[in-house]
Amino acid sequence: MKSIHLSLLAAAMAATLTTAQAAPKIKVGLMLPYSGTYAALGNAIENGFRLYIAEHGDKLSGREIEYIKVDDESDPSKATDNVNKLIKRDNVDVLVGTVHSGVAMAMAKVAKDTGTLLIVPNAGADVVTGAMCAPNIFRSSFTNWQPGYAMGEVVAKKGYKKVVTITWKYAAGDESVNGFKEAFEKSGGKVVKELSLPFPNVEFQALLTEIAATKPDAVYTFFAGGGAVKFVKDYAAAGLKKSIPLFGAGFLTDGTLEAQGADAAGLLTTLHYADNLGLARDNAFRLSYAKSYKLQPDVYAVQGYDAAQMLGIGLAAAKGDLSKRAVFIAAIEKAKIDSPRGAFTLSKSHNPVQDIYLREVTGKENKLVGVASKALADPGRGCHM
């Protein structure tokens, strides 16, 4: 009996010693939508993030990762409470989130006020790397302006003059349309009507009737996730696909093609990713992702993967010590991030400067047509760092 006790004690002491020697885990607060119209996007981001960590032996700079997950439900009214819990109750070292621009703006405000590191793996809210920019806030994705602006140039070049836009009435939809309009009208086009409905509503019928009555040359849209699936199907069912060409920010057809089926065939969209880039880095990533998850990756998976890469770059420079904040930040700022989308750097306001591709839906893929806008940088309006 006694000897059993003693050996248990010895084992316990040995365990304590090894724990004491190992560096503490890095606490990552994953604040993402795991329910609602953007649920699949949140899951893909988490998958991508975890894949990068797994490829590096489940550690970054010798430190294991601990995840604390919150379902933000894409609900801005709950965002400040959620993010405060992660910071104050869970003591996370870094926040990773989110998909929805309204929620991301609340996260950025708290991150800025508390100095917590934040990496945004999707939400495109222009102000996050604009007026709200801060040294501790980074984005691995895009601004809403970027794909919209690129598509404005594409549609103008095709010779279309009169366009109707349709989107959800919140920052992402508004800013995507603004980016489109800026480029399209600069090239002589005119946005004749801006239609919208509240997020995340999918009652499109009345608006589709209005599009049919307006008879524009083309339609530009921002929808994503479950809403994008329904919009593409409803647009085709209303008979509009045959008469009025539909263009969108690439979220319209990313991660959605399985569900959209033939109704998405031939759609042209602009985005910082495509399914057949043919880059060695992307081929390896796609293989690794498919092996791990039995799923094809999409743009959200890439952005999650790159959020982990950016954290890894900062940590490597700081030798795993997050208190070396200035070193951590400087390393990410000057990095060339080896993304599956193609390598990118960050603008002064910490947003990717990246190629925006024109893609065409062919079968179950967003096939690369060409580069719509080379090394496109968001203007970062209002950012003073």
Tell me which residues touch ligand PHB (CB under 6 A).
38, 99-101, 122-125, 144, 172, 224, 251
Q: Toward ligand PHB, which CB reaches closer, 172 or 207?
A: 172
> Which residues share a beta bridge with 352?
346
Give least dist CB 224 to ligand PHB, A: 3
Give least dist CB 371 to ligand PHB, A: 20
With beta carbons less than 8 A apart as the criterion, state whether 144 and 271 touch.
no
Give least dist CB 358 to ligand PHB, A: 18
Residue showing the smallest CB distance to ligand PHB in the complex: 224
Q: Toward ligand PHB, which CB reaches closer, 160 or 199?
A: 199
With beta carbons less than 8 A apart as the criterion, state whether 123 and 98 touch.
yes
Question: Regarding beta strands 345-346 and 352-362, do their DSSP bridges make them parallel or antiparallel, or are they unpaired?
Answer: antiparallel
Q: Toward ligand PHB, which CB reaches closer, 26 or 32?
A: 32
With beta carbons less than 8 A apart as the criterion, state whether 335 and 140 touch.
no
Q: Toward ligand PHB, which CB reaches closer, 251 or 305?
A: 251
Residues 6+ apart with CB under 8 A from 209: 238
Give least dist CB 328 to ligand PHB, A: 26
Q: Toward ligand PHB, which CB reaches closer, 41 or 335?
A: 41
Give least dist CB 135 to ligand PHB, A: 22
Q: What angle do CA 77, 81, 87 make, to 5 degrees?
A: 140
Q: Toward ligand PHB, which CB reaches closer, 152 or 312?
A: 152
> Which residues share a beta bridge with 361?
366
Give least dist CB 299 to ligand PHB, A: 8
Q: Toward ligand PHB, which CB reaches closer, 53 or 224?
A: 224
Report how far residue 46's alpha carbon sits from residue 121's, in angstroms, rounded to the nearest whole number: 9
Report how far residue 223's alpha carbon sits from residue 17's, in angstroms, rounded to the nearest whole number: 53
Give least dist CB 199 to ligand PHB, A: 8
Give least dist CB 268 to ligand PHB, A: 17
Q: Which of 256, 126, 255 is nearest to 179 (CA)?
A: 126
Give least dist CB 98 to ligand PHB, A: 8
DSSP type of residue 337: B
State whether residue 122 is helix, strand or coil. Answer: coil
> Which residues share a beta bridge with 138?
119
Q: Toward ligand PHB, which CB reaches closer, 204 or 222?
A: 222
Would you call 37 exposed, middle or buried from its count of C-beta atoms within 10 A (0-12, 13-18, 19+)? buried
Q: Toward ligand PHB, which CB reaches closer, 38 or 149?
A: 38
Residue 178 sits at φ, ψ, to 5 deg, of -60, -40
Q: Which amino acid is at 115?
A: G
Taking the CA atoms of residue 208, residue 233, residue 224 and residue 240 in that order, the dihedral angle to the nearest 10 degrees is -40
Q: Toward ligand PHB, which CB reaches closer, 93 or 174?
A: 174
Q: Which of 63, 89, 32, 133 is nearest to 350 (CA)?
A: 133
Give least dist CB 41 to ligand PHB, A: 6
How far, in Å, are 144, 253, 307, 370 from residue 286 at the CA level? 25, 18, 17, 20
Structure-block tokens of residue 68: 């604390």
